[in-house]
């Protein structure tokens, strides 16, 4: 796989498309997009996956798409996220992105561009890339004015209706007592049985932002702006495919200028904490 190297003009964004200062110089370093391309190879996706990436870059620009590489039930899956915080004055809209995606898959969702969304995402899989399924669901994110912390709702938008999926709360990672309270005040987990450290991993607490989400059948936690070594801890503990872990290990010195974002969905089943899916993120 041919690697993409950073350039002096590269911006650096986290998974909210908020800019950050790199840890070190980008000289002779590689982009986070290489993690996505490596996952395509491990997941046995064909050239159409790379074609979709290039199409999106040409349509909305480079460094405008956030990717998530997910592990669900031992299998890889992907999600692409698009942001425009200007909301109804947006330039990067569902309509614009779906026009770019149309050569790959038909979209049956008819978005209302008057809605005040600031972000949306698409699930990417082999069937979509092969034209075997339409884009029949888009995940749309809307802010929550009046909340005492930065927060957002996610809705699944389909041709027939929109339904509430998730509610996200963004905390400064230094607000550890509040974060612990938010995790503990849950309908999914009894923290008198489950140790809070099995959710709020001590190895990842040294980060910039911690996100706690309440979803329909589980909760989730995300650690934003972690180091390359913390990313490796995450990948190893959650047993990502060995070639993915080896790629990060082998290229650690060319990826250590970046910060990363990771997260996982969880709930109690009986007295056990079960991680349902996890993911790591980057930008292309």
The model's pLDDT over 206-222, given as tens digits with 9 standing for 90+, comes to: 999 999 999 999 999 99
**pLDDT value of residue 147:** 86
Q: Which of 127, 10, 17 is nearest to 80 (CA)?
A: 17
User: How much of the chain exceeds pLDDT 90, in percent?
Assistant: 97
260: which residues sit within 8 A by CB, 6+ positions away?
Answer: 32, 225, 226, 227, 228, 230, 231, 280, 281, 282
**pLDDT value of residue 1:** 76
**pLDDT value of residue 229:** 98
**pLDDT value of residue 141:** 98
70-108 pLDDT tens trace: 999 999 999 999 999 999 999 999 999 999 999 999 999
Q: Give the CA distances from residue 150 to residues 11, 69, 73, 220, 284, in Å, rounded to whole numbers and listed in that order.
A: 24, 24, 31, 16, 25
Domain boundaries of the chain, sorted by first residue: 33-283
Tell me which residues of the chain have a pLDDT lower than 50.
Answer: none
**Dihedral over alpha carbons 227, 232, 237, 242 (to 10 degrees):** 160
Q: Give the CA distances from residue 214 to residues 100, 225, 264, in Å, rounded to whole numbers and listed in that order.
A: 32, 21, 12
**pLDDT value of residue 46:** 86
């Amino acid at each position: 796989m041919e690697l993409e190297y950073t350039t002096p003009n590269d911006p650096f964004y986290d998974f909210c498309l908020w800019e950050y200062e790199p840890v070190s110089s980008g000289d002779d370093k590689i982009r986070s997009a290489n993690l996505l391309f490596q996952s395509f190879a491990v997941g046995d996706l064909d050239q159409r996956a790379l074609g979709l990436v290039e199409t999106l870059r040409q349509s909305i620009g480079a460094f405008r798409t956030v990717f998530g590489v997910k592990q669900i039930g031992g299998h890889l899956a992907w999600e692409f996220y698009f942001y425009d915080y200007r909301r109804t004055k947006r330039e990067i809209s569902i309509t614009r992105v779906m026009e770019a995606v149309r050569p790959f898959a038909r979209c049956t969702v008819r978005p209302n561009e008057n809605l005040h969304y600031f972000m949306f995402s698409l699930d990417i899989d082999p069937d979509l890339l092969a034209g075997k399924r339409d884009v029949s669901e888009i995940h749309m994110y809307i802010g929550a004015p009046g909340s005492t912390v930065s927060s957002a709702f996610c809705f699944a938008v389909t041709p027939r209706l929109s339904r509430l999926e998730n509610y996200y709360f963004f905390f400064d990672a230094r607000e550890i007592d509040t974060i612990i309270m938010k995790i503990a005040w849950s309908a999914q987990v009894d923290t008198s049985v489950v140790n809070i450290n099995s959710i709020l991993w001590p190895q990842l607490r040294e980060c910039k932002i911690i996100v706690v989400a309440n979803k329909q059948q589980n909760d989730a936690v995300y650690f934003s702006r972690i180091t390359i070594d913390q990313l490796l801890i995450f990948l190893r503990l959650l047993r990502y495919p060995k070639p993915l872990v080896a790629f990060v290990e082998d290229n650690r010195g060319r990826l250590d200028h970046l910060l990363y974002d990771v997260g996982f969905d969880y709930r109690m089943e009986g007295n056990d904490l079960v991680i349902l899916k996890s993911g790591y993120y980057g930008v292309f």
